[in-house]
Amino acid sequence: MNTDKLIAALCYFSIFFAGFILPIVVYLLVQNPEVKKHALHALISHIIPAATVIFVIIPFFFMWSVEAFAAAMVLVFVLLAIINIGIVIWNIVKGIQVLAHDEF
């Protein structure tokens, strides 16, 4: 198996074990432009779940009543769960696609 393919796939799979660190290190150290592209895409997809934390804070500024706040928080958590699960699935699919792809 090609080492570049494995490194590119690990950038996507690192959402489970290394978060931002592995894609950043790979992007900075590896010279292959294809691997750099995958590392950047993986890094962006790893940043999105962390950035969604902002949406948990927003309902605190619009606390009209306890019921409205509770409803807003439930809606926010459901939406964020869907987004974050989708991103994890996307990373798994992209990692498998990189491993299965013949060109590299």
Walk along the chain (104 residues) and give the pLDDT tens digit of each residue.
Answer: 689 999 999 999 999 998 889 999 999 999 999 999 999 999 999 998 888 878 777 777 776 777 877 887 888 889 889 999 999 999 999 999 999 987 66
Instruction: Give every CB contact of residue 90 below 8 A, 6+ residues apart in sequence.
Output: 45
| 3-class secondary structure per residue, 40-63 | HHHHHHHHHHHHCHHHHHHHHHHC
pTM score over 0.85:
no
Show the domain range for 31: 3-100
Total domains present in the chain: 1
